[in-house]
Amino acid sequence: MNHVELLLIVLCGFVIAYFDSQWKEESRERESILISELDLQKRFLDDERKKYDDLERERKKEVEELELKIQVAKAEHQSEREKRLQIEEKYKEQREKWKVIWKESQDCENRVKEEVEKTVRATELQKLQTERELAFLKERYAKLQQDYAAISKDSAPSQG
């Protein structure tokens, strides 16, 4: 084997090492981007949850105010017994409304959790894929080093 062939083999090793480092850097950048996207999605979901909570509080206040106005208006025109029956009925309705609001809040929370879990799973899958690609390239690089070492051993006695 002549010097040109050896030089080409060494040059190939450097090119492989260069592309391996570039790939590692790109993998780190992709992982950083995915983490940033996850953070943005989490902040968005947190903001949406806060908006929902604010709307829920406003709705509760409006419901309470309306119920009180209705109770006052009707209580003025009804007997004490009718007043009590109406207040008990409103209390039951209010409880049902609270149950609905609570259920909606739980549904929203579950949707948020599902979205976060989907995003985490996607990130984990991307990480696994990146690790597999890295392992493949490492194996390939090791094989090329072995081939280079074998070629170097073969060529050493013929020149000496």
156 vs 160: CA distance, rounded Å? 6
What are 120-154's pLDDT values in tens digits? 999 999 999 999 999 999 999 999 999 999 888 88
Taking the whole predicted model, whether its pTM rises above 0.75 is answered as no
What are 52-83's pLDDT values in tens digits? 999 999 999 999 998 888 888 777 766 667 77
121 vs 147: CA distance, rounded Å? 39
For residue 71, the model assigns a pLDDT of 82
CB distance 11 to 150 below 8 Å: no
Mean pLDDT over 29-41 rounds to 92
For residue 158, the model assigns a pLDDT of 55
Q: Residue 39 to residues 32, 46, 119: CA-CA distances in angstroms?
A: 11, 10, 10
How big is the chain, counted in residues? 160
What's the number of CA atoms in the CB half-sphere (13 Å) around residue 124?
A: 6
121 vs 60: CA distance, rounded Å? 36
CB distance 125 to 11 below 8 Å: no
